[in-house]
Every structure is written in structure tokens, then in C-alpha cells.
Amino acid sequence: MKNESENNNHHFRFHMPFVHMFSVFGDDWFSLKAEAFARFFGTPIFLISQTVIVAFWIAINVMGFTKFDVYPFILLNLAFSLQAAYAAPLILLAQTRQADRDKAHAEADAMHREALASASEQRELFASKQSSQLLELMEQNTKLTEITKALSERIESLTKEIHNRFVSETK
């Protein structure tokens, strides 16, 4: 089972040197929730919801259904100011954490590219070494073939010579 999980996480091997890194603001519950909330500020759901709430707020105050925040909507301005006061640092927090992650990923990708280049060079050197060994083996084979041919020719000539002597002696 361990071997299977190692194979599944093999593609993260270049990210492992950065596992010890924590983001500038930490990885505790508050930081993660703050980042999620900051990311929510840029979504269409948030923008549409805020627009509906503000329109409803203005409508009920202008039409006179309630008088808790009459024109010039001081309470609404206070709510927007409060929202901006919290949104800006939360957005900066999310951007900083994302920048940290991007930097770690970029360094891991650079290490991966270097490892690929190194592996490619090693394969190229190995292929070159194998090619030279094959050429050397072919040369040795050629020499052995020439020696075998020469020996075969010598055996043939000796065999003919012995045959001729044997035949001449028997006559």
C-alpha cells in the first residue's frame, strides 16, 4: 500500500522541499477562512447579492417603509466603509498567500525542468556510450570474422595439402 501511495505522489516530488513553508499569515483556521472570504468578494454571487441588498435598503428607506437610514444613507455609507476596511486587508492576505503558493510552484517547476534536462543529458550520454560500444563490438566482430575466414582458408588449404599427400602416397 505504501508503494502505491508513493507512486501516486511521485509527481509531487519537486514540491516536497517546500512542504515546510507556511504562508506569511499562517495556515490556521482563521487564515484559511479569511482567504476564502476574501476570494468570495470577487464572485458574481457576492456582487449581485450586495447590489440587491443595497437596492432593497435604499428602496425601503426612500419609500418610507422605515426611517432607520434616511437620505443621505449615513448608515449605508458606514456599512460600506466597514466593508472596505475589512475587505482590503483580506484581499491583500489572499493575494500574499497566492503569491507564496505561486512562488513555491514556480520553484518546483524550475526544479522539475532542471531534472528533466539532467535526465535528458544522462540519456544522451548513455546512448552515445552505447553507440560507441556497439561500434567497437562491430569492429571486433569484423576482425573475428576476418580471422575466422583466414583460418577457414588455411584449414582448407591444409586439408587439400593433406589430401593430396595422402592420395599421392596411396598411389
User: pLDDT tens, 119-170?
Assistant: 999 999 999 999 999 999 999 999 999 999 999 999 999 999 998 888 887 7
| Domain-embedded: residue 167 | no
| Domain-embedded: residue 152 | no
Output Rg (C-alpha) for the chain, integer angstroms. 42
| Domain-embedded: residue 161 | no
Mean pLDDT of the chain: 85
| Domain-embedded: residue 59 | yes
Range of the domain at 103: 2-133
> What does the pLDDT read at residue 121?
95
> What does the pLDDT read at residue 19?
59
Which residue type sits at 161? E
pLDDT in tens, 86-105: 888 888 888 888 888 888 88
| Domain-embedded: residue 156 | no
Residues 35/93, Cβ–Cβ less than 8 Å: yes
> What does the pLDDT read at residue 23?
54
Total domains in the fold of the chain: 1
pLDDT in tens, 43-87: 899 999 999 999 999 999 988 888 888 888 999 999 999 999 988
Residues 28/97, Cβ–Cβ less than 8 Å: no
Q: How far apart are CA 95 and CA 33, in angstroms?
A: 14
| Domain-embedded: residue 70 | yes
pLDDT in tens, 16-30: 666 555 554 567 787
Q: How far apart are CA 63 and CA 123, in angstroms?
A: 79
| Domain-embedded: residue 54 | yes
> What does the pLDDT read at residue 166?
85
Q: How far apart are CA 137 and CA 161, in angstroms?
A: 35
Q: What is the mean pLDDT of residues 27-50?
A: 84
**Cis omega before residue 17 (within 30°)?**
no
| Domain-embedded: residue 82 | yes
